[in-house]
Structure 1
Amino acid sequence: MNASSAKAPRKIHYGWVVVLLAFVTLLVSAGIRSMPSILMLPFEKEFGWSRGGISGVISVGIFLYGLVGPFSAAVLERFGIRRVIVVSLAVLAASLAVTPLMTALWQFELLWGLVSGLATGMMANVLGVTVTNHWFVKRKGLVVGLLTASAATGQLLFLPLLAQITAQIGWRYAVFTAVAVIFVVMILVAIGMRNHPSDVGLPAYGEERVTKPEPFRGSIFLAPLQALRSSLRSATFWLLAGTFFFCGFSTNGLIGTHLIPACGDHGIAEVTAAGLLALMGMFDLIGTTLSGWLSDRFDSRWLLFWYYGFRGLSLIFLPYALSAGPTALLVFSVFYGLDWIATVPPTVKLASQEFGKAKSGMIFGWIVVAHQVGASVAAYGAGAVRQWLGAYTVPFVVAGFVCFFAALMAIRVAKIGAAARQQLQA
């Protein structure tokens, strides 16, 4: 090797460009999914819709967002990452563009419950897992952490801006702003996204040679169902799905949907409340990325135990924080934000270890379904309880205690994992 070649700069692997584009896509998708929390109070005032009715629409959207996950894994493998993202962004933009014309709750249900739920579901956590499996052999935990954290960053960038637009010139202009951002991202993805390292003549990051991807075999509808059937025999699947049910119950279904209205009940302005969610997003970007780094180095089961335990404590503290004032809410936002979505990288790693690379995307998609079922229950249930009791105290405290139960389930995953390894060694 001569001196000039020794000093030649090392090129950045194209996988990191793909990660950046996936990060931006997931960021925008998450920002759009978080918009109903801003729209809830304006819709109550303008259309006279009840808190429970609006929560029901959000609940359906959250459920479909999760349900499409396993099938999106198969669709991504069959048709390619770039094509699926571009089509999904186009459908999402169309549903948002029509939203300002709606006049009835059923139209909100159609546009945000059905169409938006399905479109954003194609760009959920399963997309991050698919990108990671295609492009990376090393640094997988870090990449999953980064792509998962993009959801929090979406709130960080979108919520304060959209809340400010809504407060000053109306919610319709906030929707139009979101549509414009979607079109920009769609163009970037169409130009720069690639499906597999072999498309640019590279090995995956951490490999030495270029390999062609295995062609997708089977039906995009039957393959996820077959993966689910095989996973139902695994106790690890049930425990991971169970912990993720409680994860969804205690995050986007509850806090993501109802924190802004809960702050409104205590006289806290909508823009200020959106700022609290944005602050959580900033700290979750740190916490979830760090979680990915930790999952490459430590036992993921114990990471989950601590994440769920700390989240439970923060949720039990929330009713006091809402009454105590800005300092207490700031403490909650930092403490809760650090592990909002930090549970994803350890869960992805456990699913990959249990079910293998080929099936892990679809099976993790089913685990995400459990997450979104829990989120859907919380989104509707918290709204109904608030309408019944006039306060959010009961839903927040209940969510705190179910997080403690999820922490215990995570330890049970550890026991089953150890038993399985002993059987394999015998």
Structure 2
Amino acid sequence: MTQTPRKPRFFLGWTVVAVAALGAFSEVAFFNPVLGVFIPEFEREFGWSRTEISAAVTVGSLVGAIFAPFFGPLVDRYGGKPFVVGGCLIMAAGLICLSLMQEAWQFFVIYAIGRGAASGIISLAIGVTVSKWFIRKRGYAVGLTFVGTRCGFALLPIGVQLLIQSYDWRTGAVALAAVVVVCGVLPALFWLYPRPERYGLEPDGDAPLPPMMAGQPRPVREVSWTRHEAIHTKAFWLLTLAVAIQQWAGGAINLHQIPHLVDSGLTPEAAALVISVLAVFGGAGALFEGLLDARIGARWTMAIGLLGSAIGMVILMNVHSVAMGLLFAAVYGASFGMMVTSGQIVFADYFGREALGAIRGTSAPIQFSFNAVGPLMAGVAFDVTGNYLAAFIPFTIGYLLAAAALAMAQKPKLPAGRELTPVIEPAG
């Protein structure tokens, strides 16, 4: 008698989530909150302006915009492992070089390549890989993955700050390189698996099809659009605009929030504490996103996060004490965690898994170009006016406009000739 296939006791997808979370933790080494800790040191030792430092972030984001369209389809074809491992090795080498730099041009080259690898290769590969392992549980799985990013935001800036106080900023850069190798390279090398079907598994850990259905067309759990089909929908461009605005504002705030808090009267240690608390609430927001996503979808969850981020910006512009800084951390952190995690999911929710790397890779140059402008805009605003209000007010308005774009981004009709078979829920 033929037995009905059973669900696996342990789904390999959760191993992928754990490894991807470590990769997300590692890529924070080249994200703006960590660079924000280095800014006062660079100003003191080299005399660089915040515009000059922000320009390096701009160049790095533009490099990511170049990388993503090329690597997106390759992640679809080969899985995320070679790109997470390779990207983390590039970052680790860049951090070693950073510890040895003496000139501004060296900083530009190092940060351009390192940040380009983090945003244009690693982040893309992580998000696409996890999304291929899950459909019904995608929001929760991606939320868990990017708790790794929030943990990086919580631990790495304050860890680097302590190393700077005890030793110097160059020691902090070397320590970051070690973190990237241990947490990013090694786990991905052994346990970042490409997609469930390669191992005879189903997305979400569902039971395989029973033997009597062998040879029959497989039930379609979701429609997967091609890149060509996706880019000819209005929804694709509205989603791209919303995520691009989020990266325009969010990237600038991540870089300049520590200098702004210090300028507002907080000590560097208190500012680092605020950012760590923000990251903790960001992790909670990422997990809450998974719960909301299952009920209202990534589109509306992201819209809620954008509205909350606008409120957080109003608080940030009025911070003059540690208590106000912590209030900002709670509101903005939770909202930002929801917003960023939804941005990793929303394209998969609309266009499926099969060409997700190519679709997100097509959207990425616009997103990263916006991300390139935001930090530079804030740096110029500070150098010209002596504060960040000329940038923070437009960022607040931008969050509201991004939420409006999502409200207009209705899911497109299925491509011509396609039919969607209802999802088969696993027994038990």
Q: If the TM-score is normalised by the length of the shorter chain, which range does it land in?
A: 0.7 to 0.9
Match of 2:208 in 1: 209
Distance 1:91 1:348 in 2: 23
Flag structure 1 segments of 5+ consecutive residues without an equivalent. 1-8, 212-225
Match of 1:146 in 2: 144
Match of 2:422 in 1: none
The Cα offsets for residues 337-389 of structure 1, whole Å up to 9 and x where unpaired, read as 00114124544554234333222332233334433322221100000010000
Contact 2:17 2:145 in 1 (8 A): yes
Identity within the alignment, %: 24
Distance 1:92 1:247 in 2: 24
Distance 2:166 2:142 in 1: 37
Structure-to-structure mapping, 1:27-426, within 5 angstroms: 27-34=25-32, 35-133=34-132, 135-185=133-183, 186-197=185-196, 200-209=199-208, 227=227, 230-251=229-250, 253-321=251-319, 323=320, 325-414=321-410, 417=411, 420=413
| Equivalent position SS for 1:358 | coil
Distance 1:100 1:235 in 2: 46
Q: 1:68: how far off?
A: 2.5
Distance 1:184 1:378 in 2: 31
Code of the aligned partner of 1:152 = R
Contact 2:55 2:376 in 1 (8 A): yes
| Equivalent position SS for 2:356 | helix
Contact 1:152 1:281 in 2 (8 A): yes
Higher mean alpha-carbon deviation, 296-305 vs 100-109, is at 296-305
Distance 1:146 1:386 in 2: 36
> CA 1:420–1:136 in structure 2 vs 1: closer, same or farther (change >3 Å)?
closer
Flag structure 2 segments of 5+ consecutive residues without an equivalent. 1-6, 211-225, 420-428
Contact 2:58 2:375 in 1 (8 A): yes
Code of the aligned partner of 2:384 = W
Distance 1:104 1:347 in 2: 36
Contact 1:318 1:329 in 2 (8 A): yes
The Cα offsets for residues 52-105 of structure 1, whole Å up to 9 and x where unpaired, read as 111100121133335423433222233332222222222211111111221111
Q: 1:50: how far off?
A: 1.6
Higher mean alpha-carbon deviation, 352-361 vs 159-168, is at 352-361
Distance 1:394 1:231 in 2: 36
> CA 1:315–1:21 in structure 2 vs 1: closer, same or farther (change >3 Å)?
same
Match of 1:3 in 2: none
Distance 1:68 1:352 in 2: 20
Code of the aligned partner of 2:257 = L
Distance 1:243 1:116 in 2: 22
Q: 1:160: how far off?
A: 0.7
Distance 2:189 2:240 in 1: 34
> CA 1:100–1:67 in structure 2 vs 1: closer, same or farther (change >3 Å)?
same
Given the two structures, how large is their TM-score scaled by the length of structure 2?
0.84
| Equivalent position SS for 2:102 | coil
Code of the aligned partner of 1:307 = G
Code of the aligned partner of 2:128 = V
Q: 1:320: how far off?
A: 1.0
| Equivalent position SS for 1:306 | helix
Distance 1:332 1:78 in 2: 42
Pairing partner for 2:23 from 1, 22, 25 = 25
Code of the aligned partner of 1:99 = L
Given the two structures, how large is their TM-score scaled by the length of structure 1?
0.85
| Equivalent position SS for 1:411 | helix
Distance 2:177 2:297 in 1: 41
The Cα offsets for residues 248-294 of structure 1, whole Å up to 9 and x where unpaired, read as 1221x221100111122223222321221111111111111211221
Contact 1:73 1:127 in 2 (8 A): no
Distance 1:69 1:115 in 2: 14
RMSD: 2.6
Higher mean alpha-carbon deviation, 143-152 vs 106-115, is at 143-152
Distance 1:301 1:192 in 2: 31
Distance 1:204 1:41 in 2: 47
Code of the aligned partner of 1:118 = A
Distance 2:157 2:406 in 1: 32
> CA 1:166–1:386 in structure 2 vs 1: closer, same or farther (change >3 Å)?
same
Higher mean alpha-carbon deviation, 40-49 vs 298-307, is at 298-307
Distance 2:122 2:144 in 1: 15
Contact 1:156 1:279 in 2 (8 A): yes
Code of the aligned partner of 1:61 = G
